[in-house]
């Protein structure tokens, strides 16, 4: 080769190398996964009860989600994303730990919490210099359930403001206001903000204009309202000039059945409508506008966020880093089995529903196994388990491998005993659990879950009737369910409540005795049994049961009050005073207790029991709390003054009581007080006899 030819070849080679390098640089700039230096902040948004197919960017025919659509247009949309369980607390536990329920141990909303043994995304980011905050919108994610691990601030205290307050959730606008306020005060340092919107959860009641725009589908209206709220958070990020440096992840914890397969809400079945959720990732430095059809899961969010930040994923995490999908040349359709479960049927003594999804196939392991071709049968109507037995066997084997690898036998106890107010607020949100069994093997003698969906739906209505205090309606439902399944022990406490509330005392006694055989320590059931016995005029039995209640729970107010009232009727004033005094210590401002105790201390014919000065204090407190406008309490105060020898005060107070009673058309009360007034005028006190 001549020198000239060599030089030309060298020049050409050099030019080609430069071109290749330039192309590589361009490709890297356009398609690289952003490194930690580009991502300053992370915002994870979870929409509760959000079916993927109700977002317009996922094909919903009406424009429900313009703000999310805009994020999707600039981000990566995953089309086949599965929740590991169609319930809020366990799904979020998986989302934040990257592990499936058999590993982290949370399978239900009502009785479990996320153990501190788990490592959460927030803990890792907190340890790596991020300011961490969460704003959650329902009591099911309150701090007591364990998701607050690793958060510097956790806005989720659903403490009722007064007794009986059903405050269990907050509207998306409040969540947005809290989030935007937090952003205003924390924009100067890298942060991780977790937002949870609860609005699409039943009951569907979006505010205007969404209620009118989606009058024929209020669930879609809730999705649209939530999108509006998310749009305000995005606007705040832009206003604060944080948007371009923020990794944004938008997802759902589970879906909603909306009547499909006979289920009205969620939590029972693992069909597509309940477990298929959206997942949209928008990141600085990643070219967006792409859609990924591979099967992925909520458990992939944690390792993906860590991967985007160049942080290592803990080795126990079962989720996968999805960063490999973010380049245009990424290969798709990699075989993978994604796990999902529902143990809810076990509370009805059915087998659990354990499932895996691989590509377009879903296998459900239960009494009568199910296999669906999701591509050709997205509504899961045609069970192919028999005709595709080899495929079913293969998927069952992979399901078993997942369980064998991830059942965490040494997990710290996740059990949680909730207070009554929290249970009531969970029930007001529609949660109806009565304790699932953590079983992952089939028992061929047990019922198939599909055969119990009607029972489950009626049980859900029953709990709704209890929450709404529709006791007659609840009793009819409860009777029906008990006739069908007398073997379900959790129905008996409910039956006893409805019988007591509807004055079916003989039946109440039967159910309560059954309940107490199962759980002798249930002091509330024992209190109800005593009440029923008392109503049936079986006072001695009632007293014995109430005394056992206060032995089990010394400060149970109702039992002390009931014992005192019973002893008062029996003219056992000493015992009545003892129990009303104890009740007064438990609830110092209870008006009825103040009045009863003051009356008895002032009027008893036993001088050893009489305490006029204490009676005046108690009666004065009751009158003060009622602004001295209740004649019955004024009558007690007058009797207390007379007992203390303060007859002028007694006369003045009795006259005032008579005037108020007359003004309120309480003639009998006015007459009774007037008889006692004549005693006070003559310097005599009124005395109750124990004879």
Q: Give the predicted TM-score (pTM) of the model.
A: 0.78
Residue 667's pLDDT is 92
Residue 324, domain member (yes or no): yes
- Residue 638: helix, strand or coil by DSSP? helix
**Averaged over 84-98, what is the pLDDT?**
97
Residue 332's pLDDT is 60
- Structure confidence by residue, pLDDT tens digits, 434-453: 567 888 888 888 999 999 99
Is residue 668 pLDDT above 50, yes or no? yes
Burial environment of residue 465 by CB neighbours within 10 A (0 to 12, 13 to 18, 19 or more): buried
Residue 617, domain member (yes or no): yes
Residue 21's pLDDT is 38
What tokens does 661 get?
């009673």
Q: In what order do the strands lie in the sheet with 370-373?
A: 338-342, 353-358, 361-365, 370-373
**Averaged over 39-54, what is the pLDDT?**
97
**Averaged over 599-612, what is the pLDDT?**
94
CA 226 – CA 81 distance, rounded (Å): 20
Residue 521, domain member (yes or no): no
DSSP letters of 347-380? GGTBPPEEEEEETTEEEEESSS-EEEETTT-TT-
- Residue 422: helix, strand or coil by DSSP? helix
**Percentage of residues in the chain with pLDDT exceeding 70?**
88
CA 247 – CA 286 distance, rounded (Å): 10
Short-list 121, 115, 40, 51, CA closest to 263: 51
Is residue 431 pLDDT above 50, yes or no? no
Is residue 166 pLDDT above 60, yes or no? no
- The answer to whether 132 and 152 are in contact (CB under 8 A) is yes
Residue 71, domain member (yes or no): yes
Residue 376, domain member (yes or no): no
Phi, psi of 103 (to 5 degrees): -90, -50
Residue 625's pLDDT is 95
Is residue 613 pLDDT above 80, yes or no? yes
- The answer to whether 464 and 430 are in contact (CB under 8 A) is yes
- Residue 30: helix, strand or coil by DSSP? helix
Domain limits for position 328: 41-263+275-333
Residue 65, domain member (yes or no): yes
Is residue 258 pLDDT above 80, yes or no? yes
Short-list 343, 342, 344, 374, CA closest to 357: 374
CA 429 – CA 202 distance, rounded (Å): 7
Residue 552, domain member (yes or no): no
DSSP letters of 153-216? EEE-----SSTT----B--HHHHHHHHHHHHHHSTTS-EEEEEEE-TTSSS--PPTTHHHHTTT
Q: To 10 degrees, what angle do helices 667-681 and 647-663 make?
A: 160
- The answer to whether 180 and 172 are in contact (CB under 8 A) is no
Q: Please, which pLDDT band fits residue 281 given cuts at 50, 70 and 90?
A: very high
Question: Mean pLDDT for the chain?
Answer: 88
- Structure confidence by residue, pLDDT tens digits, 614-656: 999 999 999 999 999 999 999 999 999 999 999 999 999 999 9
| H or E segment and range at residue 612 | helix 612-625
Residue 626's pLDDT is 93
Number of domains into which the chain is organized: 2
For residue 668, the domain's CATH number is 1.25.40
DSSP state of 241: T
CA 154 – CA 158 distance, rounded (Å): 12
Phi, psi of 89 (to 5 degrees): -65, -50
**Averaged over 99-109, what is the pLDDT?**
93
Short-list 374, 355, 373, CA closest to 365: 355
For residue 204, the domain's CATH number is 3.40.720.10
* Cα 428 to chain centroid, rounded: 9
- Structure confidence by residue, pLDDT tens digits, 545-575: 999 999 999 999 999 999 999 999 999 999 9
- Structure confidence by residue, pLDDT tens digits, 210-219: 999 999 999 9
Burial environment of residue 292 by CB neighbours within 10 A (0 to 12, 13 to 18, 19 or more): buried
End position of a domain, from candidates 286, 304, 333: 333
Residue 301, domain member (yes or no): yes
CA 299 – CA 421 distance, rounded (Å): 32
End position of a domain, from candidates 288, 307, 333: 333
How many other C-beta atoms can be found within 10 angstroms of the C-beta atom of residue 79? 16
């Amino acid at each position: 080769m001549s020198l000239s030819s060599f030089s030309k070849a060298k020049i050409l080679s050099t030019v080609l190398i430069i071109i290749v390098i330039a192309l590589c640089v361009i490709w890297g700039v356009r398609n690289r996964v952003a490194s930690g230096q580009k991502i300053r902040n992370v915002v994870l948004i979870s929409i509760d009860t959000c079916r993927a197919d109700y977002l317009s960017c996922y094909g919903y025919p009406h424009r429900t989600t313009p703000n999310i659509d805009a994020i999707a247009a600039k981000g990566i949309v995953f089309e086949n994303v599965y929740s590991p369980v169609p319930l809020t607390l366990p799904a979020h536990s998986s989302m934040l730990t990257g592990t499936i329920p058999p590993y982290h141990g949370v399978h239900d909303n009502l009785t479990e919490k996320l153990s501190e043994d788990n490592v959460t995304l927030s803990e890792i980011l907190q340890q790596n210099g991020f300011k961490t905050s969460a704003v959650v919108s329902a009591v099911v994610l309150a701090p007591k359930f364990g998701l607050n691990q690793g958060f510097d601030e956790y806005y989720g205290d659903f403490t009722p403001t007064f007794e009986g307050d059903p405050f269990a959730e907050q509207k998306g606008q409040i969540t947005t206001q809290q989030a935007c306020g937090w952003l205003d005060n924390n924009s100067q340092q890298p942060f991780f903000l977790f937002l949870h919107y609860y609005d699409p959860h039943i009951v569907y009641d979006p505010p205007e204009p969404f209620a009118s725009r989606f009058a024929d589908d209020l669930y879609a209206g809730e999705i649209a309202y939530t999108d509006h709220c998310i749009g305000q958070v995005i606007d705040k990020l832009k206003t604060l000039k944080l948007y371009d440096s923020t990794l944004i992840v938008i997802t759902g914890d589970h879906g909603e059945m909306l009547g499909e397969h006979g289920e009205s809400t969620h939590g029972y079945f693992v069909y597509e409508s309940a477990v298929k959720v959206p997942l949209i990732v928008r990141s600085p430095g990643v070219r967006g506008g792409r859609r990924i059809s591979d099967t992925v899961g909520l458990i992939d969010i944690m390792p993906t966020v860590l991967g985007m930040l160049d942080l290592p994923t803990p080795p126990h995490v079962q989720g996968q880093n999805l960063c490999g999908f973010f380049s245009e040349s990424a290969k798709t359709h990699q075989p993978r089995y994604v796990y999902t479960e529902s143990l809810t049927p076990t509370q009805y003594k059915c087998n659990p529903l354990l499932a895996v999804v691989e590509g377009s196939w879903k296998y459900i392991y239960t009494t009568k196994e199910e296999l669906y071709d999701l591509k050709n049968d997205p509504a899961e109507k045609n069970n192919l388990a028999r005709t595709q037995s080899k495929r079913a066997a293969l998927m069952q084997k992979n399901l078993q491998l997942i369980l064998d690898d991830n059942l965490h036998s040494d997990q710290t106890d996740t059990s949680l005993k909730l207070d009554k107010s929290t249970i009531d607020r969970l029930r007001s949100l529609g949660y109806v659990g009565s304790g699932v069994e953590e079983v992952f093997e089939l028992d061929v003698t047990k019922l198939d879950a599909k055969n119990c969906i009607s029972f489950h739906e009626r049980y859900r209505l029953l709990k709704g009737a209890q929450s709404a205090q529709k006791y007659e309606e609840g009793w009819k439902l409860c009777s029906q369910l008990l006739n069908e399944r007398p073997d379900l022990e959790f129905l008996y406490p409910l039956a006893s409540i409805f019988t007591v509330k509807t004055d079916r005392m003989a039946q109440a006694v039967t159910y309560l005795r059954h309940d107490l055989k199962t759980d002798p320590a249930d002091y509330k059931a024992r209190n109800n049994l005593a009440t029923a016995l008392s109503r049936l005029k079986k006072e001695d039995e009632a007293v014995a049961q109430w005394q056992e209640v206060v032995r089990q729970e010394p400060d149970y107010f109702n039992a002390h009050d009931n014992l005192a009232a019973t002893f008062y009727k029996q003219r056992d004033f000493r015992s009545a005073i003892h129990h009303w005094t104890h009740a007064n210590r438990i609830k110092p401002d209870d008006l009825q207790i103040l009045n009863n105790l003051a009356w008895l201390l002032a009027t008893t014919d036993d001088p050893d029991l009489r305490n006029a000065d204490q009676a005046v204090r108690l009666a004065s407190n009751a009158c003060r709390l009622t602004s001295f406008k209740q004649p019955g309490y004024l009558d007690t105060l007058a009797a207390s003054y007379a007992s203390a020898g303060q007859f002028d005060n007694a006369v003045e107070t009795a006259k005032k009581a008579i005037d108020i009673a007359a003004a309120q058309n309480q003639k009998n009360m006015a007459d009774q007080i007037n008889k006692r007034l004549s005693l006070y005028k003559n310097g005599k006190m009124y005395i109750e006899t124990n004879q």
